[in-house]
Amino acid sequence: MQRQRTDCPWWQRGVIYQIYPRSFQDSNGDGVGDLAGIEARLDYVATLGVDAIWLSPVFPSPMADFGYDVADYCGIEPMFGDLAAFDRLLAGVHARGLKLLLDFVPNHSSDQHPWFAESRASRDSAKRDWYIWRDPAPGGGPPNNWISDFGGSAWEWDAATGQYYLHAFLKEQPDLNWRKPALRAAMMDVLRFWLDRGVDGFRIDVLWHIVKAEGFPDNPVNVDWTPDRTERDRLIQRHSTDQPEAHAISADFRALADSYGERVLVGEIFLPNDRHARWFGTPERPQVHLPFNFQLIENRWNAAVLRRVIADYEASLPTHGWPNWVFGSHDAPRIAARIGDAQARVAAMLLLTLRGTPTLYQGDEIGIGDVPIPPERVRDPQDLRQPGLGIGRDRSRTPMPWDGSPFAGFSAVEPWLPLNADWPTRNVAAQSDDPDSLLTLYRSLLTLRRAQDALSIGKFALVDADEDVLAFERWHGDDRLLVALNLGTQRRRLPLPAHGAIGAVLASTLPPRVLDGSLAPDEGLVLRLEEAR
């Protein structure tokens, strides 16, 4: 169905679909997904009903952190293909009316990047200050108390040059120095390289990390830290993240993207609402279009909690800001694993009916749940460095199960990570043929969202409702809808609209039934509202 033309940019109406390339489709039988595999599955993505694909990193990398350690910002990792394969994929994406976003990693490179090799070669290197080097503390040891997000000191000693370099993540991921104009210019050229090639935007990795406080003071101790939390959380990252100078860089990214027409920038930012909202910038000096909003991941699946979260987030947005929502990613536990199969259907309805741009993570549309990873198959460096905390990300990166053939149609050999144990029945082919499947529900909701301006660009207001029920209205022009979601296991009252009457049922998480003024357990409804007669 064609959408009517409006003045809204595509990314406001659209839905983004994240693909983790290692785990989407293997085309050459090495057990790892690749660009040709993604190209072969583009018809699936197009018929799902999304508008854009976001690819996790595909650049050359030693894979210490599976692509987030970039050794060449303007190339393609041979494991995934080459630039010709990328160009074919991009052409295939555009031929299907879709957009393609790349994952830009500006905070750090790989320690195998030529820039870092030159930087660490000598204190007198022309690129020495493209990275962050410091002398030891006066009494010896690291320059300050900063902790890597993966545990341990954020500083690594380099005996050859007698200084430490900073790494917010692995020691194989040295932080770039964004206070250096030459480095900034080189990274802007990276963006131009891909924009000139035709990409439609970028998801910007750990954007709030990219500038550090001058003087590198110690971070304050977190008095609320407990041993069941990551080592990073022992400190409050006051001086190592979210510095005022980073906003000018974000604005420069936006100005460059806007110079190419209707491109979009999605910024990865984990911050409280008031600080998060600053990354929209101002109308005169805008920053990223969509500062990623992770609150559906970070908060309990509880109607009262989510009502507060949604209200507070909406209230925090500047007048020029556009909301966005996500409940799954390559870093987060699977939504079905967190809340179960029945509520995963309710979550699908919530994600696709809230005001703002949704991002859907591959595999959530078929309800992949908990995938235990045997110790001998753990690949995630974060999990390997801090075992026992339950923070492993491998469980979210398992291969996409396509059908009931050997290795789920993902590969001709054993995949790099285990498949979900129920893959023979929980796969795309099986759910495509099932009118009651989660995949069918996603497709119907995405079709409805595309057809209804009230859902894609309409206004939003929360509605008072009983315990366990989250309800809100969406409207655009004369079209008014009610979304009512039962997040509990008890039958609850269906909230009646303050004005008008309930008309047609446009979508339901459960099989069709006659409305009786109640919401069944695990039931979500999208209802058309009509004027009372």
Catalytic residues: 205, 268
Question: What order do you get walking across the sheet with 52-55 strand by strand?
Answer: 290-291, 264-267, 201-204, 99-104, 52-55, 16-19, 357-361, 324-326
3-state secondary structure of 247: helix
Q: Find the angle CA(424)-CA(426)-CA(432) to the nearest 5 degrees.
A: 110
CA-CA distances (angstroms) from residue 102 to 90, 198, 207, 267?
11, 11, 14, 12
Sign of CA dihedral 194, 196, 201, 206: positive
Closest of 419, 331, 404 to residue 369, by C-alpha? 419
Q: How far apart are CA 533 and CA 529, in angstroms?
A: 12
Segments of 136-282 assigned E as strands:
155-158, 163-166, 201-204, 264-267
Convert 58-95 to b/e letters by CB count within 10 Å (16 or more is b): bbbbebbbbbbbbbbbebbbebbbeeebbeebbebbee
- Asked whether the CA dihedral 126, 127, 132, 135 is positive or negative, the reply is negative
DSSP 8-state assignment for residue 22: G
Separation CA 207–CA 451 (nearest Å): 34
Encode burial over 380-404: b for 16+ CB neighbours within 10 A, e otherwise: bbbbebbeeeebbbbbbbbbbbbbe
Alpha carbons 111 and 170: distance in angstroms, whole number: 10
DSSP output for 154-171: SEEEETTTTEEEE-SS-T
Which tokens go with 485?
């979601």
Give backbone dihedrals phi and psi of 233, rounded to 5 degrees, phi first: -75, 0
Q: How far apart are CA 297 and CA 251, in angstroms?
A: 27
Which string of DSSP letters, residue by residue, matches 92-157?
A: HHHHTT-EEEEEE--SB--TTSHHHHHHHH-TT-TTGGGB-EEPPPTTSS-SS--B-TTSSBSEEE
